[in-house]
Amino acid sequence: MSLLVVGLSHRTAPVSVLERASLVGEEPAKLAQDTLVAEPATEAAVLATCNRIELYADVDKFHAGVAELSTLLAQHTGVDLDELTPYLYVHYEDRAVHHLFSVACGLDSMVVGEGQILGQIKDALALGQELHTAGRLLNDLFQQALRVGKRAHSETGIDKAGQSLVTFGLEQLAGGTTPVADWAAGRRALVIGAGSMSSLAATTLARAGVAELVIANRTLDRARRLAESLAGQSAGADAVAGAPREDGSAAGRPLIARAVPRDRVPDELPYADIVVSCTGATGLVLTADMLREALDRRAEQRAAGTAGPGAAETVALLDLAMPRDIDAAAHRIAGLRLVDIESLAEAAATVSDQPTTSAGPMAADVDQVRAIVSSEVSAFGAAQRAAHITPTVVALRTMAADVVAGEIARLDGRLPDLDERQRAEITQTVRRVVDKLLHAPTVRVKQLASTPGGAGYADALRELFDLDPQAVAAVSRADMNGTRPNGSGDTGRPGAAAVQNDPKRGRA
């Protein structure tokens, strides 16, 4: 079996396609389960974010696997296969490992270096474990990807090279030149949703100095917990308490944070200067009509003199959901400024194309992370190849132990007068001879198997010692279930199938 990933992301597909192909709610779970039903796959995991949909699988045939996974993605996203195919990418075995490790480090993110992807990879692994669609290979792969991502963030300055998507979006709303803390200070903010991205947005806005924060969520308890964790914090935690802002407000004032059910959003919208939305809704959360009505009510408040002192002339909208939460028509409504995934992708591409004074250190950090990824890919491949031969080695030692047991039983029949001490000494001597004969070749074959192209050593060992393939498979199953019998003579653990290079890799 071999690792295969088929997917699409902001790098290969326009946002309009990503939006239609997005997986929400129970859809990632259904995709993973249906992948296991397909013949080529024995394991499956789905990584679905606002700008990426990837299906990982352990397959026994490359071409059949690509065809099946591509078809499954089309079926579950609702995008016709002929339309979807030009945007798909395919990575196989070592390249698939390299891809996921790069994703985990933030190298493939819209905002290079962002760390939210680690939480999304962790969620994908947890879902695969819960559904039992992730087996030995994908468990090893995703857990190692998390470790590699953490290593990249702790050993390099990649965190400085990139921001979170939330921060980047707020910077775009602020105009790119005004610090977010100055732009957001004293304003009222409405965050729709209480998931990981919305929680990050709420925390970021609190630290930026908003005066009031309203969190609206379908599950009110979750919104309450988030609001309670932020309420009372000093507005603008990064600023010096009491220091004046550009709008005349002072940093360090206690933040007012409260929670409301999501159906109260139309009531809260007229009072919000900043709106961030990131839900799992399949339809629009904020329609054009809702936004126009909110603007009319804001105008009435200003005319009546009841608008707050920090009320902004333009309402800033940040849509981080996929599919979108906020009607794209907001781009054309006066009094609104909308930044969504599509405009963030365009802004990120513009930023990456422009040389800056900090480009040198950032490039150095990225290069350092790439070196980490390359070394980790090599180590992972070696470990998987070595693990692949372990069931064969265990089967060989089990066969040898059975031969010894059989010969000792035969000796008992020929020499029935042996006492227990003599019998034990003979048994131990024979076992030592067998162990010494097998030690060097089994250690050496593991070393050779861990090298590139070492997959054939397991087959050679089975042929040389005429090992029963079913016995080897039984060892693999027992090890995966944690039921390998004691006394097998080997402490290594079998893992994924050997890596076999396929020359026909690339885009689907």
DSSP conformation class of 436: H
Average pLDDT over residues 383-392: 76
Distance CA 457, CA 389 (A): 8
Q: What pLDDT score was predicted for residue 363?
A: 77
pLDDT of 482 higher than 70: no
Q: pLDDT tens, 316-363?
A: 999 998 889 999 999 999 999 999 988 888 888 776 555 443 343 467
Selecting among 50, 165, 213, 369, the annotated active-site residue is 50
- Tokens matching residue 325: 């939460």
Which residue, among 272, 348, 276, has the nearest Cα to 319 in the 3D structure? 276
List, as one string, the DSSP characters of 1-68.
-EEEEEEEETTTS-HHHHHHH---TTHHHHHHHHHHHSTTEEEEEEEEETTEEEEEEEES-HHHHHHH
Instruction: Quote the tokens at residue 302.
Output: 């200003």
Among 46-50, 414-418, 464-468, name the most confident range.
46-50
Compute the distance between CA of residue 73 and CA of residue 300 in angstroms, rounded to an integer. 48
What mean pLDDT is reported for the chain?
Answer: 83
Region 169-193: mean pLDDT is 90
Structure tokens at 27: 């859809």
pLDDT for 310-325, tens place per residue? 567 899 999 998 889 9
Determine the pLDDT at residue 237: 46
Q: Give the bridge partners for 91, in sequence order.
A: 5
- pLDDT for 269 equals 95
| Residue 189, strand partner residues | 213, 274
Average pLDDT over residues 402-424: 88
Instruction: Using alpha carbons, select from 391, 389, 394, 393 the residue that is nearest to residue 499.
Output: 389
**Angle formed by the axes of helices 116-131 and 94-104, nearest 10°:** 130
303 or 59, which is more confident: 59
Q: Which residue has the higher pLDDT, 24 or 145?
A: 145
Q: What is the pLDDT of residue 508?
A: 36
DSSP string, 282-295: SS-SB-HHHHHHHH
Least confident stretch, 138-147, 159-168, 254-263, 292-301: 159-168
Across the range 207-219, mean pLDDT stands at 93
User: Among residues 235, 315, 302, 246, which one has the least CA distance to residue 274?
Assistant: 315
Q: What's the confidence (pLDDT) of residue 68?
A: 95
CA gap 127, 42 in Å, rounded = 16
Q: Where are the alpha helices (DSSP H) in 330-358?
A: 341-353
- Chain segment 60-94, per-residue pLDDT in tens: 889 999 999 999 999 999 999 999 999 999 999 99
Q: Whole-angstrom Cα distance, residue 214 to residue 232? A: 13
> Residue 247: is its pLDDT beyond 60?
no
Alpha-carbon distance 84 to 243, whole Å? Answer: 53
Give mean pLDDT, residues 219-241. Answer: 75
Answer whether the bond into residue 494 is a cis peptide, omega within 30°: no
pLDDT of residue 71: 96
Which pLDDT does position 439 carry in this prediction? 86
Determine the pLDDT at residue 302. 82
Which are the contacts of 380, defined by CB distance < 8 A and separation ≥ 6?
A: 97, 101, 140, 141, 144
E strands of 207-269, at which residues? 212-217, 256-261
pTM: 0.71
Q: Which one has a higher pLDDT value, 228 or 362?
A: 228
Confidence check: pLDDT of 1 > 50: yes
State residue 334's pLDDT score.
94
Half-sphere exposure of 442 (CA within 13 A, CB side): 22
pLDDT (0 to 100) of residue 461: 75
Q: Which of 149-158, 191-200, 445-454 has the lowest mean pLDDT?
A: 445-454
Over its C-alpha atoms, the chain yields an Rg (Å, rounded) of 29
Chain centroid to CA 392: how far?
Answer: 33
Whether 105 sits among the annotated catalytic residues: the reply is no
**Per-residue pLDDT, 313:** 82
What percent of the chain shows pLDDT beyond 90?
A: 50
Confidence tier at 476 by pLDDT (50, 70, 90): low
- Percent of the chain with pLDDT strictly greater than 70: 83
Q: What is the pLDDT of residues 444-459, one digit of tens each?
A: 777 777 666 666 777 7
pLDDT band at 471 (very low <50, low <70, confident <90, very high): low
Residue-wise pLDDT tens digits, 88-115: 999 999 999 999 999 999 999 888 888 8
Count of other CB atoms within 10 angstroms of residue 310: 18
Cα–Cα distance for residue pair 448/436, rounded to 1 Å? 19
Collapsing DSSP to helix, strand or coil, 498 comes out as coil
- Quote the CA–CA distance of 31 and 222 in Å, as a whole number: 27
